[in-house]
C-alpha cells in the first residue's frame, strides 16, 4: 500500500489530503478563501498567499488526523509547483519541502492541471470505472481551457488551448457583468436554470481547423447587451448616459437586465463549443474515453451535453473534486511515485508551468 500526502495552494484554496494507492481518499481537507476574495470580485493574490500561510499547517494536521495516520505511515509528499499564483504556490512548495526533509520522505512536484485530470482516478463509485488509454481530457478551470490527449500515465499531448480567457474566467467575468456573486460559474449555472438559452443569439468562436478556444468575443457580446440595457434605463430615468457606476449601483436597474436569459444563453454558447470540439477531437484521435476536469467540469449542462453528444464513455469527478483540492494532487503523485519520479530540494514554483514540461 502506498500513501501519499498531497498539498495544494496554487490559487485560493488551501488544501491537504491523504490518498492510498492513487485512488482511495483517506482524508481531503479544503479551506476555501472564497469569502475573503468575494469583496474584490476575484482572487486578490497578496491576500491569498497570506491566508495560505495562516491556514496551511492546520489544514495538513487535520488531513493527517482524519486519515488516522502517523508521519511514518506516509510514503511521499506530493505538492503543486505550478501553474498558479507564484506567492500562493510558494507557500505549498516550501511547506512540503520542509515536511519532506524533516520526516525523511520523498518529495514529488505535481503540475496542477495534471492533478485536475487525476481527480478522475479517485474512487467514488463502486466498482470504479475502468480507465483505458488513449483518452481525451477536457481541462476547464478558472485558469485553463485545454484539450489534452493522454496516451499513458504522465504522457500528454496538448491538442488545443484557449487563445484568450479560460472558460472559468469567462464565467467569472460574465457573472460580474450580470451582477452575480463571485465565483460566476456556479452563480451563472443557477441563474441559467430559470432562463431560456435561446433568448439571445450569442457568438461561438469555432476557430475551424484547430482545437483552440476563444471566449473574449462572447464576453464582449454580453457586455454590449448589458450596456444597451444600461443606456435604455439611463435614458428612461433621465440619469447620465453611460454612467455605469450610477447604473450598477441602482438595484432597480440590475433587476431590469434579463439576467436569467443572458446567463442561460451565455452558458449554452460556452458549452456548445467545448462539447463540439471535444467530440470531434475524440473521434479524430480514436480515444477510448473522454474525461472532464477542472472547476467548470462541475457544470451539469456540460456533463449532460458531453454524455449526450458523444458515443464514448464520459468520466467526470463529483463537483467537490472538480474544483481545487489536494486529493487530486496526491493521486497524480502516486502515479509519478510509482513511475520512479522524485523532485530534488531545488524544486521551485513555475507559475506558467505547461503540462508537457518536465
294 lies in the binding site for ligand KG4 (CB under 6 A): yes
- Residue 300 CB, shortest distance to ligand KG4, in Å, is 7
- Should residue 141 be labelled a site residue for ligand KG4 when binding is judged by CB under 6 A? yes
- Residues paired with 3 in a beta bridge: 20
> HSE-up of 266 (CA within 13 Å, CB side)?
36
Residues touching ligand KG4, count (CB under 6 A): 20
Residue 28 as a binder of ligand KG4 (CB under 6 A): the answer is no
d(CA 303, CA 269): 15
Q: Does 114 bind Zn ion (CB under 5 A)?
A: no
The closest alpha carbon to 319, from 112, 119, 20, 82, belongs to: 119
Distance between CA 269 and CA 314 in Å, rounded? 20
Contact between residue 207 and residue 147 where contact means Cβ atoms under 8 Å apart: no
Distance, in Å, from the CA atom of 127 to the CA atom of 337, rounded to the nearest integer, reads 24
The pairing of beta strand 13-20 with beta strand 289-293: unpaired
Residues 179-238 that bind ligand KG4 (CB under 6 A): 183-186, 189
Closest approach of Cβ 185 to ligand KG4, in Å?
2
Q: Does the footprint of ligand KG4 cover residue 168 (CB under 6 A)? A: yes
Strands (E), the chain: 3-8, 13-20, 24-32, 76-82, 107-111, 135-140, 145-152, 155-161, 289-293, 314-315
> Which entry of ligand KG4, Zn ion, none binds 212, CB below 5 to 8 A by partner kind?
none
User: Least distance in Å: CB of 15 to Zn ion?
Assistant: 10
Residue 317 binds what, of ligand KG4, Zn ion, none (CB under 5 to 8 Å, by partner type)?
none
Is 135:148 a contact under the CB 8 Å cutoff? no
Say how far residue 57 (Cα) sits from the centre of its chain.
24
Cell numbers describing residue 246: 450610477
Q: Which of 12, 80, 94 is nearest to 51 (CA)?
A: 12
Counting residues that bind Zn ion (by CB under 5 A) gives: 2
CB closer to ligand KG4 out of 76 and 296: 296
When CB distances are held under 5 to 8 angstroms depending on the partner's kind, the choice from Zn ion, ligand KG4, none that residue 171 binds is: ligand KG4
Stretch that binds Zn ion, among 62-70, 220-228, 261-269, 322-330 (CB under 5 A): 322-330
Least distance (Å) between residue 32 CB and ligand KG4: 9
- Judged by beta carbon, residue 118 or residue 200, the one nearer Zn ion is 118
Minimum CB distance to ligand KG4, residue 325 (Å): 8
Task: Provide the minimum distance between the beta carbon of 280 and ligand KG4 in the complex, in angstroms, as a whole number.
Answer: 22
Question: Which of 178, 212, 324, 353 is in the footprint of Zn ion by CB under 5 A?
Answer: 324
74: which residues sit within 8 A by CB, 6+ positions away?
Answer: 3, 4, 5, 18, 103, 105
Q: Which is nearer to Zn ion, 22 or 82 (CB)?
A: 82
**Does residue number 165 form part of the binding site for Zn ion (CB under 5 A)?**
no
141 binds Zn ion (CB under 5 A): yes
Q: Count of residues for the chain?
A: 358
Smallest separation, CB 169 to ligand KG4 (Å): 6
- By CB under 6 A, name the one of 60, 96, 298, 314 that touches ligand KG4: 298
Radius of gyration of the chain (CA): 21
d(Cα 93, Cα 108) in Å, to the nearest integer? 10
Residue 316 interface partner, choices ligand KG4, Zn ion, none, CB cut-off 5-8 Å depending on type? none
According to CB under 6 A, which one of 95, 310, 323, 343 is a site residue for ligand KG4?
323
Give the interface segment with Zn ion, choosing from 12-20, 88-96, 140-148, 150-158 (CB under 5 A).
140-148
For 166, residues 6+ apart whose C-beta sits below 8 A from its C-beta are 140, 141, 142, 143, 144, 145, 215
Residues facing 156 on adjacent strands: 150
DSSP state of 326: S
Instruction: Kindly list the residues in this chain that would bind ligand KG4 in the complex (CB under 6 A).
Output: 11, 141-143, 168-169, 171-172, 183-186, 189, 294-296, 298-299, 323-324
Instruction: Kindly list the residues in this chain that would bind Zn ion in the complex (CB under 5 A).
Output: 141, 324
Amino acid at each position: 500500500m502506498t500513501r501519499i500526502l498531497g498539498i495544494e495552494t496554487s490559487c485560493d484554496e488551501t488544501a491537504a489530503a491523504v490518498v492510498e494507492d492513487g485512488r482511495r481518499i483517506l482524508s481531503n481537507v479544503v479551506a476555501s478563501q472564497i469569502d475573503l476574495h468575494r469583496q474584490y470580485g476575484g482572487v486578490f493574490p497578496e491576500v491569498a498567499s497570506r491566508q495560505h500561510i495562516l491556514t496551511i499547517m492546520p489544514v495538513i494536521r487535520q488531513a493527517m488526523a482524519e486519515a488516522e495516520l502517523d508521519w511514518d505511515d506516509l510514503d511521499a509528499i506530493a505538492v503543486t509547483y505550478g501553474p498558479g499564483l507564484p506567492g500562493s504556490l510558494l507557500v505549498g512548495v516550501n511547506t512540503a519541502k520542509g515536511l519532506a526533509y524533516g520526516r525523511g520522505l520523498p518529495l514529488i512536484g505535481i503540475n496542477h492541471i495534471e492533478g485536475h485530470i487525476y481527480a478522475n482516478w479517485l474512487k467514488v463509485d463502486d466498482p470504479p470505472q475502468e480507465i483505458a488509454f488513449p483518452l481525451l481530457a477536457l481541462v476547464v478551470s478558472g485558469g485553463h481551457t485545454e484539450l489534452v490527449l493522454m496516451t499513458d500515465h504522465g504522457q500528454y499531448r496538448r491538442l488545443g488551448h484557449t487563445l484568450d480567457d479560460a472558460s472559468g474566467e469567462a464565467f467569472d467575468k460574465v457573472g460580474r457583468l450580470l451582477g452575480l456573486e463571485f465565483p460566476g460559474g456556479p452563480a451563472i449555472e443557477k441563474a441559467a436554470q430559470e432562463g431560456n438559452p435561446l433568448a439571445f443569439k450569442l457568438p461561438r468562436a469555432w476557430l475551424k481547423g484547430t482545437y483552440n478556444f476563444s471566449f473574449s468575443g462572447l464576453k464582449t457580446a454580453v457586455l454590449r447587451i448589458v450596456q444597451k440595457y444600461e443606456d435604455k434605463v439611463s435614458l428612461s430615468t433621465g440619469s447620465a448616459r453611460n454612467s455605469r457606476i450610477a447604473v450598477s449601483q441602482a438595484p432597480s436597474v440590475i433587476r431590469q437586465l434579463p439576467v436569467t436569459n443572458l446567463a442561460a444563453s451565455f452558458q449554452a454558447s460556452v458549452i456548445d463549443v467545448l462539447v463540439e470540439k471535444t467530440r470531434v477531437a475524440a473521434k479524430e484521435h480514436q480515444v477510448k474515453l473522454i474525461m472532464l476536469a477542472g472547476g467548470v467540469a462541475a457544470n451539469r449542462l456540460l456533463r449532460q451535453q458531453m454524455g449526450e453528444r458523444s458515443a464514448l464513455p464520459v468520466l467526470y469527478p463529483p463537483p467537490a473534486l472538480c474544483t481545487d483540492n489536494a486529493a487530486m494532487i496526491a493521486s497524480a503523485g502516486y502515479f509519478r511515485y510509482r513511475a520512479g519520479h522524485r523532485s530534488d530540494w531545488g524544486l521551485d514554483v513555475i507559475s506558467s508551468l505547461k503540462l508537457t514540461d518536465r
